[in-house]
Amino acid sequence: MADKILVLKDVKKYYTGTQAVVMGLGGVDLSFARGEFVAITGESGSGKSTLAHVMGGILPYESGEMYFNGAPTSHFDSLDYERYRRDNVSFISQNYGILPGATVWKNVVSALLLSGMGRQEAAQAAQKLLRQVELWDLRRRRAAKLSSGQKQRLSIARALAKPAPILIADEPTGNLDAENSAKVISLLAEAARDRLVILVTHEFAEAEALATRRIILSDGLVVQDIPLRDPEEPAPLRGAQRKQKRALSLYVAGLQTGSRPIWATTVAAFFALTAFAVFAFLGVFIINLDDTSTYQYDAKTFPNGSKERIIVSTLDGSPMTQEDYDALLKVKHVTALEPNGYVSDVFYGYREGIDYVTKYELHISGDFFGFHSVSSFVSFANNLPCLQTVPLLPKGRTFLAEGKLPESFYEVAVRRGVAEIGDTIDVLIKDSRYLSDPIPLQVQVVGLTDYGSGIYFSRDLGRMFTQMIKVSQDHNSNPRLFFYLPHEEVEEGTFFPSTSYAHTLGDLNIIDVSFAVIDPGREQTEITLRKMMRIGDKDSHDYPFSKLILTSYQDFDALTWNSPSEQVSLTISDYAYTDRVIAAVQKLGYIAASPYRLGSTKQVPELAKERMQTLQICLTALIAVVALQILLLRALFSVQTDSFRILSNIGLTSRTARASVLWQILLFTLLGQVVGGLAVWLCGCNGVERIEQMLRYLPPANILILSGVHLAASLLAAVLVIRGMEKQVYPLAGKYRDLNMGEGKEDAL
């Protein structure tokens, strides 16, 4: 009896229905060995299927004992049965149990791989098996497209691929014609060379020539047990189920997706959609965490609160050198550098009535000369442009499109289209912090540029203002403007004949014009002066500024050129890059700040509320997408349950099944992120404003966060998909670990 693989002692099986208890087997004594090809026959309802199912571990029995390899099985719970089936039984039924979407080849190879074979070995064995069942020529056909006979032969090939010592075929020829039936029977007979083959049939005749034994059942009892011929000495069974290779999960993942192209496309599209949604909602959420935009800009500190401006100073206050400029221009997203950093906070207006309005007041003094004067008061509009001098641009970019660079104070370059070369523009300049009065300048367009916007003044003017502002900052004194004029144009004593004076101090011609009134009769003087500055209106001759030092070019140079500023202004391509540029500049060893941020001090409640709403909407939408992903994914993956069940019958362990789901979801997530990311990018390129903004604002590190969140949502969904699948396919999988049954076979879980 030791070599008996299955022994049944007085095995009874009852079916408990709603009304009555029906006897399936009424006390069966049988024993079987490998090498036998047993035909179980009998009338319909005699218990053939019941016996086959009990031996196959598909049905439990109520009393008696069934021994497998000498070990009793009556204490088996459903888990024990599952392992028994998985490791020891191949079951062939009328409905084939093949993967309909997969090819013939894959159906067989997967069974071999699941038994733990390597790829090459499996390919060889599959070829052998397919030739054996005469399906080699059809190996590339999908299983669903086979005829019934071919399907049944395929299911036999699959059953043979599994190295189980017991093969049970329950009416395998039920759907087949005589020719196909004969083929199936002979295949089963061959299978009996190394295993026990049980054939349930109501057509004994078809098996008569090959079966080694016939058992006849009637009313659940064995009525005859007829040996027909001696079974051959069984060949050793090909190695038992081996540990499944890790890569097998990837193979199963491919098998599951590959056999469902439409499903796979749907799932991929779904992942692309969720990736897109996560990217968009989370992206907008992240950029809205910066609440600067909800504050109103207060120009008191920095009149130029341009969003794209970054102020940079040296740590120790030492002046910047050309090397500093070069290093700063190399920082990513920096588009220009204004070497006269302070000048960026001096604003100007050039359209009377739009940028500024001038009001005049007549003063009649009571003195006996009957002296009267007209004062002008200028009020400026808000949001004036700030002074820009010709900036330094990164290598490879040129500032000038036409004409020449502004060289003197009276020359400017403008953006192409704003004015023509040779045009004259009247400008009023004012620094709201230090200059109490605006300074008029009449300037001429000498160059055109495609860079930026507004008017670009000469570097000299920038230097002059920088000097002036610095002096007033450092000494808290009145600002002094250093203008140069050629010596010969300054005529001492004749220039400002009434209350002004000019005198020479060393090489400096100093003209203090704070009290100057020009003689209206001296047209010539006025014209000379207008070259330098515009003087209000022709009726008004008050100089609206405080101190002016007129100096020669050489002196001007000496006073300003040798003291370049320790502070510059950078222009960046978008406010979005502020943090990144500041960080990069700080890393280079400078102080850096965004004046726009520093000056945005007063919160606007409506904007703040709007921002909160945007944050809430994004967060809600994000949670909804994640929840949707989890819920829908479970439903989407439920189509795999049947094939998982089929695969589990031929040995797919739940660990490999789990890993295969994980693989699928990971790969779909990756694919979805690529497609979804591409869609986001396309939206950004095609003017979807929020997305465009988001793409600029998100540094690469944050893009990783977006991917991470989408991946986390996918993994969460994967956990639930896996749980659902296990519940269906491996109902008690979690408890395997506690069991210790069989012959110490490696625990698959």
Q: By the criterion CB under 6 A, which residues form the site for ligand ADP?
A: 15, 17, 22, 24, 42, 44-50
Least Å distance, CB 168 to ligand ADP, is 12
Q: How far apart are CA 528 and CA 523, in angstroms?
A: 9
Q: Are 152 and 172 in contact (CB under 8 A)?
A: yes
Least Å distance, CB 706 to ligand ADP, is 54
Which helix (H) or strand (E) is 580 found in, with range? helix 578-587
Nearer to ligand ADP, 52 or 328 (CB): 52
What is the per-residue DSSP string for 678-706?
Answer: HHHHHHHHTT-HHHHHHHHH--HHHHHHH
Least Å distance, CB 97 to ligand ADP, is 18
Contacts of 144 (CB under 8 A, 6+ apart): 100, 101
Least Å distance, CB 200 to ligand ADP, is 7
Nearer to ligand ADP, 10 or 219 (CB): 219
Residue 214's beta-bridge partner residues? 39, 226
Residue 547 in 3-state DSSP? coil
Structure tokens, 181: 């039936």
Nearer to ligand ADP, 41 or 649 (CB): 41
Nearer to ligand ADP, 48 or 655 (CB): 48
Question: Apex CA 214: angle with CA 213 and CA 220, to 5°?
Answer: 135
Contacts of 206 (CB under 8 A, 6+ apart): 173, 178, 181, 182, 185
Q: How far apart are CA 116 and CA 562, in angstroms?
A: 82
Nearer to ligand ADP, 42 or 172 (CB): 42
Nearer to ligand ADP, 44 or 120 (CB): 44
Nearer to ligand ADP, 43 or 539 (CB): 43
Q: How far apart are CA 495 and CA 246, in angstroms?
A: 97
Residue 167's beta-bridge partner residues? 90, 197
Q: How far apart are CA 409 and CA 550, in angstroms?
A: 13
Nearer to ligand ADP, 24 or 305 (CB): 24
What radius of gyration, in Å, describes the C-alpha atoms of the chain? 46
Nearer to ligand ADP, 15 or 360 (CB): 15
Least Å distance, CB 46 to ligand ADP, is 4
- CA atoms within a 13 Å half-sphere pointing along the CA-CB vector of 544: 24
Least Å distance, CB 725 to ligand ADP, is 27
Least Å distance, CB 76 to ligand ADP, is 19
Q: How far apart are CA 468 and CA 483, in angstroms?
A: 11
Nearer to ligand ADP, 17 or 366 (CB): 17
Structure tokens, 231: 């079974």
In angstroms, the Cα distances linking 154 to 132, 149, 254 are 10, 9, 20
Nearer to ligand ADP, 49 or 376 (CB): 49
Least Å distance, CB 153 to ligand ADP, is 23
Nearer to ligand ADP, 49 or 449 (CB): 49
Nearer to ligand ADP, 54 or 741 (CB): 54
What is the per-residue DSSP string for 150-162?
Answer: HHHHHHHHHHHHS
Least Å distance, CB 99 to ligand ADP, is 27
Residue 698's beta-bridge partner residues? none
Question: Percent helix, strand and coil across the chain, each rounded to 5?
Answer: 40, 25, 35
Q: Are 171 and 96 in contact (CB under 8 A)?
A: no
Least Å distance, CB 157 to ligand ADP, is 25
In angstroms, the Cα distances linking 395 to 268, 345, 583 are 45, 26, 22
Nearer to ligand ADP, 14 or 681 (CB): 14
Report how many helices (DSSP H) and strands (DSSP E) the chain contains, helices first. Answer: 20, 29
Least Å distance, CB 658 to ligand ADP, is 32
Q: How far apart are CA 105 and CA 139, in angstroms?
A: 5
Nearer to ligand ADP, 157 or 167 (CB): 167
Least Å distance, CB 23 to ligand ADP, is 7
Least Å distance, CB 24 to ligand ADP, is 4
The burial class, CB within 10 Å (0-12 / 13-18 / 19+), for 499 is exposed
Nearer to ligand ADP, 15 or 515 (CB): 15
Structure tokens, 155: 């299911």
Q: How far apart are CA 249 and CA 656, in angstroms?
A: 5
Nearer to ligand ADP, 218 or 335 (CB): 218
Least Å distance, CB 219 to ligand ADP, is 8
Least Å distance, CB 49 to ligand ADP, is 3
In angstroms, the Cα distances linking 373 to 224, 263, 363 are 140, 90, 5
Least Å distance, CB 626 to ligand ADP, is 44
At 452, give phi and psi (nearest 5°): 55, -150
Q: How far apart are CA 554 and CA 561, in angstroms?
A: 10
Q: How far apart are CA 22 and CA 50, in angstroms?
A: 12
Closest CA to 423 of 398, 450, 397, 448: 448
Least Å distance, CB 82 to ligand ADP, is 20
Least Å distance, CB 118 to ligand ADP, is 40
Nearer to ligand ADP, 44 or 740 (CB): 44
**What's the 3-state SS for 262-321?**
HHHHHHHHHHHHHHHHHHHHHHHHHHCCCCHHHEEECCCCCCCCCCCEEEEEECCCCCCC
